[in-house]
RNA sequence: GGGGUCGUAGUUCAGCUGGUUAGAACGCCGCCCUGUCACGGCGGAGGCCGCGGGUUCGAGUCCCGUCGACCCCGCCA
């Protein structure tokens, strides 16, 4: 039978006591972190969210019997007197290490089974075990820190938006399926046989309708759901800081979000320099081979097409003649790469999808493999790329965009390998002027790159019908260290333009009405110009915490197979539940 | 859907080219210990080597399949 709390009320957390508290009669409550039983005296480290404090239980004390029973992770209440430790016994590793509590009263509030992994050590434990026993992992310093940081981040965000005149408004979790975009999670309706709610992929339409409803400035820390495959930075349910502003231009959003980032990064003691850099999508792609470039390293992609237009190297010449491109990266100090490392790199490139990767070292005569290129062309290429004797030139050829994207991957690979991505640097970037549409050859139609409510750039409206691929959107992503941490746009507020975009997407009037009718109708009742952004809270906090997976900043994440190892979700359900929901499963 | 890494004690790992009784550390259990703080000392328990099949005189080790965790591609308006 465990003891009850009785009249014991916490006076301090386990991280609070200092030399100035000596003599105080205190009550501490927490878990047994570690027991050091020396026979005549027993030291107990007890732990709560605040830290660790050493308790002392001495012989001849009636309490010794209780102390001897204690094991790791038992829950205890201790009342005692704070005493100063002698100089030799001060523990500088503990915040409370100058003092200890001489126990006068000790209650065993609960026993605990031996944990499947040690909490007191910062030992490495495989992730499935951590997830299965998430409540234990949550007691360990890493998650305590990350979850606390997440709280401070959301508080900072709330304070910021409140001070900026925003209202936090909740939007429905049970909503309507809008099958464009990611796969929906569906919720069957009991009351309406054969009909379904969908969980929101984002509160997109609701926040726009809030603008129509005069909310003017809205934000929400919103759970979103997407039934797609997972990654280190993607979970089926995740949290967006969702923002929408009436009468906003893109500039309004940038100037709103930049100081927010500044405030948030102050939480980890970092100054963010403003304004942030901006890069048009097309430039990001050609210079970095990515729409979310990591700017912590240089390694820009350069174009060498002109060098090879007249070259004696047939392969490159032909690709350029056919409208392709020869592009490459100059790797500083790359001359140090051994032949074996270069072979491995070429191999790696093949796996990434490169048809071929040519390397050449300015510092030495051309190896047999690059002789075909010709000395003159090589010299011209080195000059074009300003490659010095210590450098390494890497070249690939093909369709311009494809080659850039592959080189973008290679760039990151090289940067990681050579340790060029300083984890302690934070490079923000706005990527702007995304294309409005992208063509999918499989079904021969255009799709919205962002979503169908994104405003086309006013200068490009007339190309909607004639040259859809060239239409820019007033859309922007916030990129941090190569991670997309936010994305947004100015929306279409004119029903006629919205209809035109739907037509371009091949969505008939009836179809549009069936899917978004409520929204299109609302659009006709005096919609103010508006726009906004959604920030990926999980990714943001992961970066703040220095974690490479968002699972480390979520209290209860799912595995890569979308399973909750602790709760055991998903699971089968009672046949009666299915009947009530008018559902039958196959097989 | 595809590719890769990994799966051995509660945990983290070692286990060679296939060869006696599968090891270590930490944890766990018992005894001893009055100033420890990763306490220490002595003793002990603990293994479906993920699962199924195959090759072999013999499989933790080789092969095939399968399941699970992680990473990547596809997917993620």
pLDDT of residue A272: 96
User: Is 80 exceeded by the pLDDT of residue A61?
Assistant: no
User: Is 90 exceeded by the pLDDT of residue A367?
Assistant: no
Nearest nt to the CA of A558 via C1' is: B69
Give the model confidence (pLDDT) of A136-154 as tens digits: 999 999 999 999 999 999 9
Confidence of residue A369 (pLDDT cuts 50, 70, 90): low
Nearest nt to the CA of A127 via C1' is: B69
Q: Give the percent of chain A with pLDDT over 70.
A: 98
Nearest nt to the CA of A351 via C1' is: B3
Tokens coding A206: 């609701």
The arithmetic mean of pLDDT across residues A461-481, rounded, is 95
* Positions of chain B reached by protein Cβ under 7 A: 1, 10-13, 26-29, 32-40, 68-77
Backbone phi and psi for residue A47, each to the nearest 5 degrees, phi listed first: -130, 135
Confidence of residue A587 (pLDDT cuts 50, 70, 90): low
* Distance of C1' in B77 from CA in A451, Å: 4
The arithmetic mean of pLDDT across residues A232-257, rounded, is 97
Nearest nt to the CA of A224 via C1' is: B76
Nearest nt to the CA of A123 via C1' is: B12
Give the closest residue to B33 (Cα–C1′): A39
Q: Over chain A, what is the mean pLDDT?
A: 93
SS3 A282: helix
pLDDT of residue A368: 65
Give the closest residue to B69 (Cα–C1′): A128
CA nearest to A16, candidates A24, A6, A8: A24
Give the closest residue to B68 (Cα–C1′): A128
* Distance of C1' in B28 from CA in A125, Å: 17
The arithmetic mean of pLDDT across residues A450-458, rounded, is 95
pLDDT of residue A413: 87
Strand order in the sheet with A392-398: A301-303, A325-331, A392-398, A358-360
Instruction: Give the angle A305-A437-A172 at the CA atoms, nearest 5°.
Output: 140
User: Is 70 exceeded by the pLDDT of residue A458?
Assistant: yes
The arithmetic mean of pLDDT across residues A555-575, rounded, is 94
Tokens coding A17: 């006591």
Give the model confidence (pLDDT) of A100-147 as tens digits: 999 999 999 999 999 999 998 777 899 999 999 999 999 999 999 999
pLDDT of residue A352: 78
Q: Give the percent of chain A with pLDDT over 90.
A: 74
Report the range out of A275-284, A333-342, A372-381 with the highest average pLDDT. Answer: A275-284
User: Is 70 exceeded by the pLDDT of residue A460?
Assistant: yes
Nearest nt to the CA of A54 via C1' is: B37
Residue A221: partners with Cβ closer than 8 Å, 6 or more residues away: A154, A157, A158, A168, A239, A240, A241, A242, A537
* Distance of C1' in B22 from CA in A197, Å: 55
CA nearest to A242, candidates A219, A226, A262: A219
* Distance of C1' in B68 from CA in A143, Å: 24
Report the range out of A39-43, A244-248, A296-300 with the highest average pLDDT. Answer: A244-248
Tokens coding A433: 């002027």
* Distance of C1' in B61 from CA in A338, Å: 34
Give the model confidence (pLDDT) of A153-184 as tens digits: 999 999 999 999 999 999 999 999 876 789 99
* Distance of C1' in B71 from CA in A290, Å: 20
* Distance of C1' in B18 from CA in A328, Å: 49
Residue A393: partners with Cβ closer than 8 Å, 6 or more residues away: A328, A329, A330, A331, A334, A359, A360, A361, A362, A381, A382, A385, A387
Give the model confidence (pLDDT) of A492-517 as tens digits: 999 999 999 999 999 999 999 988 99
Give the closest residue to B4 (Cα–C1′): A351
The arithmetic mean of pLDDT across residues A232-245, rounded, is 97
Q: Which residues pair with A475 in a beta bridge?
A: A489
- Taken in order A376, A381, A383, A387, is the CA torsion positive or negative? negative
* Distance of C1' in B1 from CA in A228, Å: 13
Q: What is the pTM of this model?
A: 0.94
Confidence of residue A383 (pLDDT cuts 50, 70, 90): confident
* Distance of C1' in B35 from CA in A74, Å: 24
Nearest nt to the CA of A448 via C1' is: B77
Per the listing, tokens 């290429």 go with: A381
User: Is 70 exceeded by the pLDDT of residue A72?
Assistant: yes
**Nearest-angstrom CA–CA distance, A223 and A536:** 10
Judged on CB neighbours under 10 Å (0-12, 13-18, 19+), A338 is exposed
Give the model confidence (pLDDT) of A344-359 as tens digits: 788 778 777 777 888 8
């Amino acid at each position: 039978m465990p003891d009850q709390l009785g009249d014991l009320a916490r006076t301090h957390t386990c991280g609070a006591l200092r030399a100035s508290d000596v003599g105080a009669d205190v009550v501490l409550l927490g878990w047994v972190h570690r027991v050091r039983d020396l026979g005549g005296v027993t030291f107990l480290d007890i732990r709560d969210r605040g830290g660790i404090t050493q308790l002392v239980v001495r012989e001849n004390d009636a309490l010794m019997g209780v102390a001897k029973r204690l094991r790791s992770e038992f829950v205890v209440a201790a009342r005692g007197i704070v005493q100063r430790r002698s100089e030799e016994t001060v523990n500088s590793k503990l915040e409370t290490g100058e003092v200890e509590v001489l126990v006068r009263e000790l209650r065993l509030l609960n026993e605990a089974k031996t944990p499947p992994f040690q909490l007191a050590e910062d030992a490495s434990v495989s992730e499935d075990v951590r997830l299965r026993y998430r409540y234990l992992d949550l007691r360990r310093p890493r998650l305590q820190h990350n979850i606390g940081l997440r709280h401070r981040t959301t508080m900072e965000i709330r304070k910021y938006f409140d001070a900026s005149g925003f209202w936090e408004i909740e939007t429905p979790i049970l909503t309507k399926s809008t099958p464009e975009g990611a796969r929906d999670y569906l919720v069957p309706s009991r009351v309406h046989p054969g009909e379904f709610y969908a969980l929101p992929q984002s509160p997109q339409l609701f926040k726009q309708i809030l603008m129509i409803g005069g909310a003017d400035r809205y934000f929400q820390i919103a759970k979103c759901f997407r039934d797609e495959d997972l990654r280190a930075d993607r979970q089926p349910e995740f949290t967006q800081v969702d923002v929408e502003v009436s009468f906003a231009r893109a500039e309004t959003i940038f100037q709103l979000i930049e100081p927010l980032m500044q405030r948030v990064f102050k939480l980890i003691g970092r100054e963010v320099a403003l304004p942030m850099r901006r890069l048009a999508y097309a430039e990001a792609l050609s210079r970095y081979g990515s729409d979310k470039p990591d700017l912590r390293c240089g390694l820009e992609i350069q174009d060498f097409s002109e060098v090879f237009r007249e070259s004696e190297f047939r392969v490159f010449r032909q690709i350029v003649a056919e409208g392709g491109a020869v592009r490459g990266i100059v790797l500083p100090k790359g001359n140090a790469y051994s032949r074996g490392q270069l072979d491995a790199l070429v191999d790696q490139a093949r796996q990434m999808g490169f048809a071929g990767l040519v390397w050449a070292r300015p510092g030495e005569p051309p190896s047999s493999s690059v002789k075909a290129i010709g000395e003159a062309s090589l010299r011209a290429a080195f000059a074009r790329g300003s490659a010095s004797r210590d450098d390494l030139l890497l070249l690939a050829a093909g369709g311009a965009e494809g080659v850039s994207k592959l080189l973008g991957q290679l760039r990151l690979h090289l940067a990681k390998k050579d340790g060029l991505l300083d984890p302690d640097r934070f490079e923000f970037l706005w990527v702007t002027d995304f294309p409005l549409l992208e063509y999918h050859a499989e079904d021969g139609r255009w799709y919205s790159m962002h979503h169908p409510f994104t405003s086309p750039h006013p200068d490009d409206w007339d190309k909607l019908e004639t040259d859809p691929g060239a239409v820019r959107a007033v859309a922007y992503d916030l990129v941090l260290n190569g991670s997309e941490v936010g994305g947004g746009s100015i929306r279409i507020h004119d029903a006629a333009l919205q209809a035109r975009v739907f037509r371009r997407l091949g969505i008939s009037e009836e179809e549009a009405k069936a899917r978004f009718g409520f929204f299109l109708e609302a659009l006709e009742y005096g919609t103010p110009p508006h726009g906004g952004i959604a920030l990926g809270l999980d990714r943001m906090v992961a970066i703040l915490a220095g974690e490479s997976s968002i699972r480390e900043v979520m209290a209860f994440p799912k595995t890569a197979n979308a399973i909750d190892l602790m709760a055991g979700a998903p699971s089968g359900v009672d046949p009666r539940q299915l009947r009530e929901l008018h559902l039958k499963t196959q097989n």
